[in-house]
Structure 1
Amino acid sequence: MNSFRLAPLGAFFLCFGAFSASANDETDEVMVVTATSYQTRASEAPASVSVITEEELALLPYNNLADALVTTSGVNIADLGQGRKGIEIRGMDVSQSLILVDGKRISRASDMMGHSNFELQNIPVSDIERIEVIKGPMSALYGSDALGGVVNVITKPTTNEWSGSVTGGGAMTVDEDGNATNIEARASGALIADKLLMKVAAGQSEQDLIENRYEPGETDIAGNKNTFVDLELTGIISAQQELELGVKVGESKIGTTRLIVAIMLFVVRQRMTR
């Protein structure tokens, strides 16, 4: 009799355990927005999606967006010559890979001027919450320049509470050629609580040149130096709308070439909850 009475109780616990595991799986599943323009589970997105999380970015010393995408399957960081790099997704041309920051389109600086990697180098890694990579045609949502895919960089939200971080790293070689350094600093918080929010980030990365051991005067890796400052002000108009003003300034030096790029963004949009 005792064994007969305990059997249903054991079955109950087994069923309860299976239900709990299923509930946790649903709760912990990654949510994405790029594939559909609204929040959905990655497993239900109508495209192949890879997500690089903030925790994954913290594990390795990534200096910029190009570094962060190197290990993503189906994505290639192409060398376009003259110090320029580009993102190729599933073998499609660089011009058919679209870069977004918080859903906003970022033009390729290399299309306007040579030697520039503004969109790959001037997004502070310390400010990235996650990166969503859509591999495959997304022209229906984003136009013909998303025929290869989309890279959407989701930055950390700005809140009333002030927070900040400073990160840095470097590498030194024995013969002093090819030394590299990188440093970033960011801070965000409210200038006026629930009315005016601010985010500021700045950074500098430098890669020394590596001379060719066989051909004096030639280099295997050209030296480069990149400095940027980002400032973002968000005014909360109502519970549904906000006004954003952003300014990005970057300076790139590759060999003897020096470029300064400045971008200003002004947009009114619906408030997003993430």
Structure 2
Amino acid sequence: TVIGTEHGDIKSIMITSPTQSLISTDPGINVKGEVANSDGEYTVQVYDQSEVVGETSSKSSNWEFEKGSDWSEGSHLLKAQIKGESTVSENVDFTVDSTPPQISTSSISVKLSEDVYVLSFKIDDTWTDLRIINGSATIPVTSENKMEIIVEVPVKGLGNKVVIMASDIQGNIAQLDITEYFPEEGSSKGTSIFLSITNANVGDQISIGIVSLIFVLLCIEIFVYWKKGKLKEITGDLFTIGTWWLILTIAIFNGFTGLIN
């Protein structure tokens, strides 16, 4: 503590909060301190690095400074000085860490695989506890790769709300509702099939596209001949084409993982 003198007494000032090397999750933390051997009212200037961030006045030995806005994320170096005097406190460094682990919403994917949904997403590696809240059930997550997460969520017993919950060592918590990525409870098989098609690989999607195109062309041909009144003339050809289309469809969908189980 740097000191001044007044009436033979040693005047001093110190910062009592935040404490040295504190990591705070509160970006609005106030700076508190004490002044010894000061008579009457005095004003304390608070510095962050070499910049004055504000001041406060007090008539007692205790003083408190409210910044009026949040401290920025990261490290800060504080000192306090009695205004107009050389009485200065020792430096106090502290860190603001109020940011919870960040989950990339654009990376979230849900794929149906037999009796489970395979959930994958990306998250920064600051988390120390990660879990999936599935209704009233909790699925703890452990992963060697802390930034790319893959977890299985059972199809049976899927809750009406699914949430990713992640916390870091400071206790900052992130919660992200991902219910919309799953089919609604009680939805039809068709919803699950649509989800599977949406998340299918490129090869499967191309195969499904080819089958769909052939079906559309077949329907168009039937309609054209029906309009011309010549449908009976091509019944045999249509039967042959339809049979081959059915065989092709069954072959493709049997090879489409996750669609027919």
- Give me the TM-score of the superposition, normalised by structure 2: 0.22
Larger gyration radius, structure 1 or structure 2:
2
- Give me the TM-score of the superposition, normalised by structure 1: 0.21
